[in-house]
Amino acid sequence: MASPPILRGNKITAAQFNELVALYHTYWSDDNPELTFAALLADQSEDNIDSHATGWGQQAVEPTVSITQTITSTHTNRLINQINAGLFHIHSGTDFDLTSLTKYAQGSVIYYEAYRRITEATDYIETQKLNIDTDGYGSELVNDLDYSETVNWANEVSAKIKATFSSYQQARYFFNSGGKIVFDISAIGDSDWTRILNNMGTITIGAINVGSSGGWIGTSTGGIYHGGGLGDPNIIYTYSDSGGEYGGEYGGEYGGTGGAYDSRRVYYEVEGNELLSGEFEVYVTIRFLDPSGLVINLTIDMTAGFLLPIETPPLEILDSSLGDKFKTDPYIYQFIERESPILSVDTSWT
């Protein structure tokens, strides 16, 4: 970036300022709105997955300026306002206080230091782009689907949940902004499986990994972007329980058929489908395997929902003393809530 290099004491040129705008646009908005699910399936390289996993889908970053313009505090402060809105989306507490940018006084001359500060803030957002504030204002947990069923099964039982978005693009913006599909599963009727599901805790499936709130952690091999195509799902999370002391520490890595750590297992599998209508579907199959061969009577309770990236900062923050970090009269910048998926039971426990 920035050719010729910016040196201390030099003013920012219009070309250099536009580079800063374009850099932040990559994360706040989207450099690749034409990306398709087919393109993701065709290239599962780390670089291609990262390109799909970049972009929150907000409005284009502004302002860009003509090459002859002198960069003023008004230009710079508007960019800072938008960067602060992105930082608040990620962290609305102490971390925001530490990372947010301070605006320049009206009429200030914009020198090298501003370029450095804005670049550092954008570099930080690059490392945090898939995160979302779950303890403050950044997200809302929506429990959209409650599903309970009693089943008799041996060896294997599974259910499939579908999340529908209006387009692959909107699905990208949901997951890229820190959105997650959330599962909380419990059971009664079999002591082993009751213990397993309690220890597994709440499962959250994000863009590139799976998280668990339980005391024992399984093995994540990816997230939504590592799923397969329709009819060809990929396992993205494995949780195992040997039924003894090795269930938590070794189950996720070594659980399998046969061997010292043979165990009951839970698999999360993901497949996607981009419809001709433009809608995009994410299918999550939850599969239980039990090596005992015994018939198991199990009442399975599942709550499926999603962590929704919501509008931030809210009005109560904009109207407070902190609100100045997002305003340069007459402009006010906020992160706009992402589209919610529609959840449904595609296949019942069978």
Q: Give yes or no: residues 295 and 324 share one domain.
A: no
User: Number of helices and strands (H, E) in the chain?
Assistant: 11, 14
* CA 105 centroid distance within chain: 36
Q: Does residue 3 lie in a domain region?
A: no
Number of domains present in the structure of the chain: 2
- Rounded to an integer, the average pLDDT of 236-262 is 55
Q: Give yes or no: residues 173 and 297 share one domain.
A: yes
Q: Give yes or no: residues 124 and 143 share one domain.
A: no
Q: Give yes or no: residues 105 and 170 share one domain.
A: no
In whole angstroms, what is the distance from residue 27 CA to residue 25 CA?
5
Q: Does residue 2 lie in a domain region?
A: no
Q: Does residue 264 lie in a domain region?
A: yes
State pLDDT tens for residues 265-284: 999 999 999 999 999 999 99
Q: Give yes or no: residues 292 and 315 share one domain.
A: no
Q: Give yes or no: residues 165 and 292 share one domain.
A: yes
How sure is the predictor about 217, in pLDDT bands with cuts at 50, 70 and 90? Answer: confident
How sure is the predictor about 241, in pLDDT bands with cuts at 50, 70 and 90? Answer: confident
| Lookup: tokens for 333 | 């910048």
Tally of CB atoms within 10 A around 321: 7
Single-letter amino acid code for the residue at 344: S
Q: Does residue 4 lie in a domain region?
A: no
Q: Does residue 80 lie in a domain region?
A: yes
Q: Is the pLDDT of residue 254 over 70?
A: no
CB of 225 within 8 A of CB of 208? yes
Please state whether the peptide bond connecting residue 4 to the residue before it is cis, i.e. omega within 30 degrees of 0: yes
Please state whether the peptide bond connecting residue 5 to the residue before it is cis, i.e. omega within 30 degrees of 0: no
Q: Is the pLDDT of residue 344 over 70?
A: yes
Task: Find the domain containing 67 and state its range.
Answer: 14-132+311-332
Q: Give yes or no: residues 303 and 232 share one domain.
A: yes
In whole angstroms, what is the distance from residue 221 CA to residue 289 CA?
19
The whole model's pTM is what?
0.93
How sure is the predictor about 190, in pLDDT bands with cuts at 50, 70 and 90? Answer: very high
> What value does the mean pLDDT of the chain take?
91
State pLDDT tens for residues 30-53: 999 999 999 999 999 999 999 999
Q: Does residue 189 lie in a domain region?
A: yes
| Lookup: tokens for 98 | 């530490």
- Rounded to an integer, the average pLDDT of 175-182 is 98
Q: Give yes or no: residues 115 and 22 share one domain.
A: yes
> Which residue(s) pair with 153 in the sheet?
296
Q: Does residue 44 lie in a domain region?
A: yes
Q: Give yes or no: residues 227 and 162 share one domain.
A: yes
Q: Does residue 198 lie in a domain region?
A: yes
Q: Give yes or no: residues 144 and 227 share one domain.
A: yes
Q: Give yes or no: residues 219 and 111 share one domain.
A: no
State pLDDT tens for residues 78-104: 999 999 999 999 998 888 988 999 999
In whole angstroms, what is the distance from residue 31 CA to residue 289 CA?
42
Q: Give yes or no: residues 96 and 175 share one domain.
A: no
State pLDDT tens for residues 193-206: 999 998 899 999 99
